[in-house]
Every structure is written in structure tokens, then in C-alpha cells.
A and B are shown apart, each in its own frame.
Chain A
Amino acid sequence: MSHPRFHARRWLVAAALFAFAASAQAVTEIQFWHAMTGANNDRINDFAKKFNESQTEYKVNAVFKGSYPEAMAAAIAAYRAGSAPAILQVFEVGTATMMSAKGAIKPVHQVMADAGEKFDPKIYIPAVASYYTNTKGQMLSFPFNASTTVFYYNKDAFEKAGLDPNRAPATWPEVMAAAAKIKASGASTCSFTTGWQSWVQLESFSAWHNTAFATKENGFAGSDPKLLFNGPLQVRHIGNMQDWAKKGYFTYAGRKNEPEAKFYSGECAMLTSSSAAYGTIKQNAKFKFAVAPLPYYADVAGAPQNTIIGGASLWVMGGKSKDEYKAVAKFFKFLSDPERQATWHQTTGYLPITLEAYELTKKSGFYEKNPGTDVSVKQMIVKTTDKSRGVRLGNFVQIRDIIDEELENVWGGKKTAKEGLDAAVARGDEQIAKFAKTAKE
């Protein structure tokens, strides 16, 4: 034991271990769980890699955790086990759940303020920012990938049907007149279909016509709103769609994005769906197509207002160390960079989150080269109203399922539009009441 060389070696080992521990401590590592697949997954990994290379203090680990609901369920399980990620990507319908989970999350405005990072909600596109803002005007989560509802049409099919391929139908009656012509001429086997029916045909539809979807500012001003989407305007529209389904102008093709495949395969000539479908459609469509604003009813006062966002935002989980929150703040600052935002917008079809990113994209001539890609932005950069800011409801996942079920009953002719929407409102209200019980302070 007293051999001097032995001592020296022990000291060396200890010193080396100490140095290793010190260097490991210097880097604060945080987990970022997301649900992005394909090209979008590559972009996220790229963001994390570039961020990690840009500095030496922090390291972000981007981990793909399955679909939106799966990633959220995984994070909740991890939170209960005490190993939640620092950053979690949550889809828009999960917003109310996250907001009411006090303690489980840390509001973004607070994270940024604590870390001393500048954070100005005004640089964001209003309709995007307001969705993730509380009644005091504080931003709770970091807007990331937001899309909205747009109209796509097959220019080749329009030409074949004798319609002007350079003029998109602007109103619903025009859409149906076009549908009738397409069907009569046999230009395609299906005239019109829609993805995400609840989001497009009811939520966004209501905002687009500046009509309330629910009381309490569509749920923004309280956790116990009452649903209102069985009003005369919505009943009129859903009734029209049922009629169009009967006449063969509207083909129902599924609850989520399945109808998009019907459009890019050429089967359906017109589609309403997410602006984020642009990339996939462009990749797959073997015909000329164009993007146009969501149709509306011209006789409704205040229409068109603005459409509603979909997609996801980044939430910061609670119970982390000060250093970890600093890392989160630095990463968010990195993501807010206008250049980066602009690239994200141009390569994914998601909205540019900041106004500056939009200006940059405009200046670069991207919109001229890719006509229609600015439609979604133009629909969004207006001042929102209490009825058009968005829809934020507790148990929204279940409510969307209920709406899907009742709309299927309407399309299938089992119920009238009024009966279907009344049932959906009654059942949805029960879900909200149930959620309000667990969300109480």
C-alpha cells in the first residue's frame, strides 16, 4: 500500500475521473420528444444537430416517440415515473390537457424570462400565437409546426370538365357547381372530398365565417364552455354536404388524412385538407394542381375571417433543473431564428411561425416559384376575433371522435344534419363537463 508508484497511479486515476466528471457536468443534456415522421423528422434531427454544434454547453437529444397521441401518452407515463423529457411536442387538440396540468408543465414565457432570453409574443403570426396564449396574454407553449385548412384542386380535371383551371371556386356554391360539372363530364370518378372533417368542415369553417364554435370564446376564456356548432350556419353547411354526398358530388373517404391520397391519386378532383399536405401532394400527384383559400358562403357577414391552425407546439415539462431550463430557452431562441423558420416553412408546408420568416420567404421569391404556398399564410395574418382565435376544449380528442361518428351518421343518411350535430353537441358537452371536474383548481 505504501509503494510510491502505486500511490501515484491512484492519484492519476482519480484525477482523470474528476476531469471526466467535470467535462460531463459542463454539458447539460435535455430530451426533446416529438412525433415528426419522414422528411420532417430529418429536419428536426438537423435542428438538434446544428444547435449542438453551435455551442458547447448544451446538448439536445431529439427522439421520435410515435404519433402525436402516442408521444403524449409516453410523456405522461414518463412524467408519472419521474423521467419526463424537457421538451414535448403536443398536437393542438392536446393543448387544454397540457394547460390544465399545472406543475407538470412550465409555461414558455416563464422559462424564457428565468433564463433571461428576450421573448416577444408579437413577432409571431397572431392566429398562431393566440392559440397558445392564456387570457393574460402569456404564451404557454412554443409555436412550432402549425398548419391550416386550405382547398386543393386538380387543374387537369378542371380543364377536362370545361372549367377554367386558373380560377379556383371561391364559395361553396361554386365548389358544388364545379363538382356537378366534373361528375357530369366524367373528368374524374369523385368530385370532392375532405380530410379532417371536424377540423375543416366545422372548427375552421366556423372561424372562417366568424361564427362561434363554443361559448366562452371557443373555450379560450374558461374550461367549461358550451358547444355551439349546431347553429343554423353549420347545420346549413353539413346539410348541404349530406345532399352533395347523396348526389355523388362529395365522397367521404375517412376521418384523418386518407382523403388526401384520393386527391393525389387523381380519383377526387377537389380536396379540403391541411396546408401541410402540400409536400406529399406535390411529391405524388401526376397532374397539375393548385392551392386556393378555403371556400365560404358569400352571404354570411364577416366571411371570410381567418381559418384555424392545426399542428403542434412545444411544451416545456415541469420539475427540471435550472440548467436544463436554460438549455431549453437557448434551443427555443435558436429555433426562432427567422432564417431557420423560413426554411422550415418552405420545406414542410407548415406555416411560417413568425412574421419575419414570412417576409423573408416573400423576398426570396419562393411564393412566385411555388404558387399557392402563401395561401395558408394569407388566411392567417389577419387580426383574429373572439370567435376565430381557435378552439380550445378539454377532452378534445374524444369530442373530435364524437363529431366524426355523428358526421358519418349524417353522410350515411342515418341522421339529418340537425340531428347529427345536436347529438354531437350534447355528447361533446358531457365530455367538457367531465374534463372540467378534473381540471378544477
Chain B
Amino acid sequence: MAMEKRARFRSWWLPYALILPQIAVTLVFFFWPAGQALYQSVFIQDAFGGNLQFVGLDNFRELFSDEHYLASFKVTAVFSVLVAGLGLSVSLVLAVFADRVVRGATAYKTLLIWPYAVAPAIAGVLWVFLFNPSIGIVAYWLKRVGVEWNYLLNGDQALMLVVMAAVWKQVSYNFLFFLAGLQSIPKSLLEAAAIDGAGPVRRFATIVFPLLSPTTFFLLVVNLVYAFFDTFAIIDASTSGGPGQATEILVYKVYKDGFKGLDLGGSAAQSVILMLIVITLTVVQFRFVEKKVQY
């Protein structure tokens, strides 16, 4: 069956020519930097690239004997699970509601999509404005109701703040996909279930959610990658990894050591580790989670 769908090209080179731009982009923007990272991770050098010394796996050994680096794994795990989990559930709820709205649906949708256009660093600053212990309006309200709010010293609150900012930024993206997924579910199925006496919750659990599973799976992968890689600007603009190391996730440490600290070998080694983690996670997801997905 599948064979019939295959397109046939008359010349052997045309298909390759058509994918060439994509391959070129991947090579230049993915394989080349990744190769550079691998190369630099086995060297130490001064900031200007002088005094290049081959050190083998010393950079990695150093990282794994550093308890603070190991602690940053825990922070990253908590952060990513929270960002992906909250990001997916909040946007699913929003999508389900937006799907049911009859009047002004476009307005709701537009407003919900807006945050996606905001740059991560700006998102971080926006949330800092709201929650800053001395100038933030939300911080002011919290203090009035007796909450001791100071994310500059309280690590849990700082983590909460960056999770909120990261989730807020990603909800729009998830929302779009969920909404599209919801709209492609045949209405006849839902109506048939309704006639059989299934209430909204039951219809969601037995029909909508399983049919959404391809979308959910795709978003899970995308959100985890987002939490791992794209959130460092939010953290840099809001907490700079502090207080202590409460919000220092792996990718932020890569940026800090590499660009601010100019320790290229150590930073490259960290990015190689990060790369391995994400590759492993993605493989695991495709092997185990995808089995539960119904296409």
C-alpha cells in the first residue's frame, strides 16, 4: 500500500538537488558546530585560542568530579519536567476551551498566540518586572497577603519564577498544535459518543485524548528540547542562575562558562554532555513512549 504513495522522479539527481538546501543548512548549522564542540572538548586553551593543549577526557573528568556540576543535573531535571509538564497541560486545557468557544474565538486565539512572538530574554525581564521584590506589582500583592516573596534569596521561588516565564513563552506554541489537533478530530465520533450517553469528561478521556496522542508526543519531544536548550536567555535575564545555584540549568552553565568565563574546553565538554542527554532522551521517547501513540 505504502509503495504506491512513493513519488517517482525521472532523473536520479533531482531528488537530491531538492533536498540539498536542507542538507546544507543541517550540515552548516548542526553538524559543523557539533563537530567543533566535540573537537574542543578534548582540548584546553586560553581565551584567545593560544596555548592549545590536548587533554583527552580531562575536561569531562573534571566535570564529573565537581559536585556543583552534578547538582545542576538535578536542577535541570526538575526544571525540564516542570516546564514540559506544565507547558503541555496548561496549553491543552486552553486549547480545549478555545475549541469550544463560539463567540470571539479568533480574539482568544490571537491573544493566546502572542507570547510566542516575545524573545526569551524579554520574557524573562517581563516576569522580573512583575515579581521583583522591590518593584514588582505581583510581589507587592503577595507581600500584602503575607507571603514572604524574595526570589533573590529563596531558591524555590526563583525556580518557580523561571518555570513560569519559560512555560508562558511556550504555551502559545503548544496551544496552536493542540488546537489544530482538536479541530481535526471528526465531529461525528464525538456526536456518536454523546448520543451513547458519554459526558464531556468521558468523551475527552476516551476519544479526544487518545486521538491527540501523536500531537502530544510531538510536543513532548519539542518541549523537552526547548527546556533543555532555549531557556538560557530567560534565566540569564531573570536570575542569572541564582540564588546560589538554584536555577543554574545545564545549558545556562554552558553559556556562562563559555561566553562569560571564556573557558572554551570546559564549556564544549558540557555541551557535548548536553547533546548526549538530549539524544538519549529523544531515542528513549521514540522507542518507548511512541509505542503508546496511536496514529
List A215-254 residues whose CB lies under 8 Å from chain B.
252-254
> A400-412, CB under 8 A of B: which get 1 and which 0?
0100111011011
Chain A positions within 8 Å of B260 at CB level? 69, 73, 397, 401
Q: Are A253 and B134 CB-contacts (below 8 A) given A397-B261, A406-B244? A: yes
B243 near A408: Cβ-Cβ < 8 Å: yes
B199 within 8 A of A: no
* CA–CA, A377 and B154, complex, Å: 38
B290 within 8 A of A: no
- Pick the contact of B262 from A76, A252, A409 — CB < 8 Å? A76
A363 within 8 A of B: no
- Pick the contact of B256 from A401, A409, A434, A440 — CB < 8 Å? A401
Q: Select from chain A the residue with minimum beta-carbon distance to B66.
A: A430
Chain B positions within 8 Å of A411 at CB level? 153, 243
* CA–CA, A430 and B289, complex, Å: 42
B245 near A434: Cβ-Cβ < 8 Å: no
A110 within 8 A of B: no
B189 within 8 A of A: no
Q: What is the distance, in angstroms, from A41's C-beta to the closest C-beta of chain B?
A: 21
Q: Are A395 and B152 CB-contacts (below 8 A) given A76-B47, A405-B245, A406-B244? A: no
Chain A positions within 8 Å of B244 at CB level? 405-406, 408-409, 412, 414
Chain A positions within 8 Å of B154 at CB level? 412
B155 within 8 A of A: yes
Q: Select from chain B the residue with minimum beta-carbon distance to A73.
A: B259
- What's the A-B contact tally at a CB cutoff of 8 Å? 91
B45 within 8 A of A: yes
B257 near A398: Cβ-Cβ < 8 Å: yes
B263 near A76: Cβ-Cβ < 8 Å: no
Chain A positions within 8 Å of B53 at CB level? 437-438
Q: What is the distance, in angstroms, from A238's C-beta to the closest C-beta of chain B?
A: 15
Q: Select from chain A the residue with minimum beta-carbon distance to B242.
A: A408
* CA–CA, A398 and B241, complex, Å: 13
Q: What is the distance, in angstroms, from A67's C-beta to the closest C-beta of chain B?
A: 10
B124 within 8 A of A: no
A124 within 8 A of B: no
B153 near A408: Cβ-Cβ < 8 Å: yes
B191 within 8 A of A: no
List B218-253 residues whose CB lies under 8 Å from chain A.
240-245
> B34-77, CB under 8 A of A: which get 1 and which 0?
00000000001111111101000000001000101000000000
Q: What is the distance, in angstroms, from A405's C-beta to the closest C-beta of chain B?
A: 5
B262 near A440: Cβ-Cβ < 8 Å: no
Most chain-B CB neighbours within 10 Å: which of A401, A411, A439, A440? A401
- Pick the contact of B152 from A73, A102, A254, A261 — CB < 8 Å? A254
Q: What is the distance, in angstroms, from B155's C-beta to the closest C-beta of chain A?
A: 7
Q: Are A438 and B46 CB-contacts (below 8 A) given A73-B259, A395-B261, A412-B154? A: yes
Chain B positions within 8 Å of A69 at CB level? 259-260
B51 near A440: Cβ-Cβ < 8 Å: yes
A100 near B46: Cβ-Cβ < 8 Å: yes
Interface size class of B (residues with CB under 8 A): 20 to 34
- Pick the contact of A262 from B48, B66, B134, B245 — CB < 8 Å? B134
- Pick the contact of B62 from A253, A409, A434 — CB < 8 Å? A434
Most chain-A CB neighbours within 10 Å: which of B50, B62, B266? B50
- Pick the contact of A104 from B50, B153, B241 — CB < 8 Å? B50
> A413-441, CB under 8 A of B: which get 1 and which 0?
01000000000000100100010011110
> A64-105, CB under 8 A of B: which get 1 and which 0?
000001001100100110000000000000000100111110
Number of interface residues, chain A, beta carbon within 8 A: 39
Q: Select from chain A the residue with minimum beta-carbon distance to B246.
A: A408
A265 within 8 A of B: yes
Q: Are A438 and B51 CB-contacts (below 8 A) given A73-B262, A408-B242, A408-B244? A: yes
Q: Select from chain A the residue with minimum beta-carbon distance to B46.
A: A438
B243 near A412: Cβ-Cβ < 8 Å: yes
B243 near A101: Cβ-Cβ < 8 Å: no
B47 near A398: Cβ-Cβ < 8 Å: no
- Pick the contact of B48 from A79, A265, A408, A440 — CB < 8 Å? A79
A255 within 8 A of B: yes
A267 within 8 A of B: yes
Q: What is the distance, in angstroms, from B256's C-beta to the closest C-beta of chain A?
A: 7
Q: What is the distance, in angstroms, from B131's C-beta to the closest C-beta of chain A?
A: 13
* CA–CA, A253 and B241, complex, Å: 15
Q: What is the distance, in angstroms, from B233's C-beta to the closest C-beta of chain A?
A: 14
Shortest beta-carbon contacts, A-B, top 4: A408-B243, A104-B48, A412-B153, A101-B48
13 contacts between A and B (CB under 8 A): A73-B259, A73-B260, A101-B47, A261-B134, A395-B261, A401-B261, A405-B243, A406-B244, A408-B152, A412-B155, A412-B244, A438-B45, A440-B51
Known: A97-B46, A405-B244. 16 other contacts (CB 8 A): A69-B259, A69-B260, A76-B47, A80-B48, A101-B47, A255-B240, A261-B135, A267-B134, A401-B241, A401-B256, A406-B244, A408-B242, A408-B244, A427-B68, A438-B45, A439-B46
Q: Which residues of A does B touch, CB under 8 Å? A: 69, 72-73, 76, 79-80, 97, 100-104, 252-255, 261-262, 265, 267, 395, 397-398, 401, 404-406, 408-409, 411-412, 414, 427, 430, 434, 437-440
